[in-house]
Structure 1
Amino acid sequence: MTTASVLDWTTVCPLDRLESDRGVAALVDGVQVALFRTADGLFALDNQDPVSGAYVLSRGIVGSRNGVPTVASPLHKQVYDLRTGDCLDLPGVSVSRHEVRCRDGLVEVRLRQEE
């Protein structure tokens, strides 16, 4: 059985450094994370595309599908739900999602790692 452990919050950047509807990659405690700022809020996923294995999700196309905020992989165009990390095109495929918040104008990420 897999359980998730939660690490401490890590400050990544000022909120105004994140452009709306664009992704940016950040290294958080040795993990490449893709950060997204959209009208729906802030989101953090692993930057590694689970289909190709390449670290490219931060370069994906941000959008929505049926009201769900999404990012499409720039390689094979699979679409991922930014809220859950679930792939909307391939059942059973997902990317790890991390907690993200803005505190005092700074974006902070807390990794969720599988044990």
Structure 2
Amino acid sequence: MARATTTSDTFNAVAEPRRREILSYLAGAERPVGEIVAALGLPQPSISKHLRVLHDVGLVRMRCQGRRKLYRTNAEAIRPLHEWAGTFERYWQHQLLRVKELAEATVRQSSADFNSPDFNPSDPKERR
């Protein structure tokens, strides 16, 4: 089966790292093309091409303000991507819980070391 073109498929559109970078940048606020160019350091024609693809698949919306084109993310179109990625949450959720447990254990140990009667703050080995 042939792969869908990036201009008609949301998942293929976001497979391009620069487009994900643009979406992340637009997540904060609506922005004009020139600001996106300056922030991401890409040539204007490249940004415009990526924005066109994102717009064609519905991930961004565009409005004109005089001669400027302002872009913003379309949360409704991004939701299916989020929901799909969420089906894999179980694979990384246990890792996040493990990191949390290790961090909490480290804090408890540091606190116990600091409160120990043997703790000597003037000892260079005790300084952390």
Q: TM-score normalised to the size of structure 1? A: 0.26
Radius of gyration: which is bigger?
Answer: 2
**Quick check: which one's helix share is greater?**
2
**Quick check: which one's strand share is greater?**
1
